[in-house]
Amino acid sequence: MSLFQYIESIEDHRVDANKDYELADIIFLTIAAVLCGAKGWKAINIFGEAQLDWLREYRNFSLGIPTRHSIGRIIRGLKADSLVSCFINFSNAVRESNGKEHISFDGKVVCGSKHGDIDALQLMTAMVVENGLIIYQKETATKTNEIPVMQSMLASMNIENAVITADAMHCQTQTTTVIREGNGDYVLQVKKNQGNLLKEIEAYFHIAERDFPKVLKDNYFKELDGDHGRINEREYRLLPITKWFDETEKFKDSFAVVQVIRRRELKTRTEQETSYYITSLKEDVKNMAGYIRGHWAIENSQHWVLDVTFREDESQIYADDGAINLATIRRKLLNLIKAHPLKDSVAGKMQRACWDAKFRAEILFGQKSNKA
């Protein structure tokens, strides 16, 4: 299916009297404008008026470009669930899985969407680490509400043969059950929210250092990198779970625990922290290091692009479903931008799309598309 076929599948809940402008036209206008850097309704209107001839190569726009207020009213009035469903279907149509797929779950607050008594928008997203493809998104009411939201996302997704990673909040027995029932595996950080489990893991690594150091030596991996005067060192140790543990039995099919010691050498000081993880994977410590490192790298990358390139946290749109609908469009565009083979940053591709209509079409359609 083409981009337009997915857009046209979105339900139009407007009454007939308000349907002067085709819904698909306005969604396409918004997607193209945000790709070229538009942050709000006024900027989308300006882009539309300046690029009307280009837009008409793909859609009719028989009444031209609506006012900024009309654009805002139409996009805000879209049912968020319908737009998210379109986004998910489109993302999964281009999703390719080779071997084990690493899916990272991450929550993000859109700070600028807070207005008076209206809380800031909070979103949980699922991203394929290997290619940065966002394959699912769901709104959460509060930070603590992320736990059941992630569990419901997992239950409705295809996670067969996938490795699921998330921060320590999601180290929950029910979450591991949902993952394993979906034939996926997990690597979850353990913190004080699972205090008894954390104490057992810490104690077991202490016993291993004292009583069977060879096992630790055989399951050891080290990474070293650095830049700008910093040296980053990460040491990974893996221990298979034994009958010594009590708490691990509560986490479905748990197989091993991992210790990660991170050291950062700065010019004037050295920082060190130790983290622990529980996993159902039966893989070596080097592979485990890749999943752990990949989770945090993709989280930092996604947040940075959305905040710095798309200026998401600066967006002041809050009314109705405006904030979540624009957030969904940004994430759809992030997928399309990353999928383009040009070797450039997301910001570089967006700038090129703003100046070069042919490149803009390549981002949106993969190749030149006929008028819908």
Q: Where are the domains of the chain?
A: 3-78+340-365, 89-307
For residue 305, what pLDDT is reported?
65
Fold of 89-307: Transposase Inhibitor Protein From Tn5; Chain A, domain 1 (3.90.350)
Task: Please answer whether residues 100 and 111 qualify as being in contact, where contact means their C-beta atoms are separated by less than 8 angstroms.
Answer: no
The per-residue pLDDT string of the chain (372 residues; one tens digit each, 9 = 90 and over) reads 577 888 888 888 777 766 889 999 999 999 999 999 998 899 999 999 999 999 999 999 999 999 999 999 888 888 877 777 787 777 766 666 556 799 999 877 655 554 455 556 678 888 888 877 888 878 776 656 789 999 999 998 889 999 999 989 999 999 999 999 999 999 999 999 999 999 999 999 999 999 999 999 999 999 988 766 678 899 999 999 999 999 999 999 999 999 999 998 887 888 899 999 999 999 999 999 999 999 876 666 666 566 656 554 555 444 456 677 888 888 888 888 888 889 998 889 999 999 999 999 999 988 544 444
For residue 303, what pLDDT is reported?
61
Task: Please answer whether residues 352 and 344 qualify as being in contact, where contact means their C-beta atoms are separated by less than 8 angstroms.
Answer: yes
Token pair of 358 as six digits: 């042919």
For residue 369, what pLDDT is reported?
41
Q: How far, in Å, CA of 129 to CA of 88, rounded?
A: 16
Q: Please report the sign of the dihedral spanned by the C-alpha atoms of residue 34, residue 2, residue 128, residue 178.
A: positive
Listing DSSP states for 74-142 in one string gives HHHHS-HHHHHHHHHHHHHHS----SSEEEEEEEEEEGGG-BTTBPPEEEEEEEETTTTEEEEEEEESS
Q: Mapping DSSP to helix (H, G, I), strand (E, B) and coil, where does residue 235 land?
A: strand
The answer to pTM > 0.95 is no
For residue 228, what pLDDT is reported?
62
Beta strands in the chain (DSSP E): 101-110, 121-128, 133-140, 162-166, 185-190, 220-227, 230-240, 256-265, 270-279
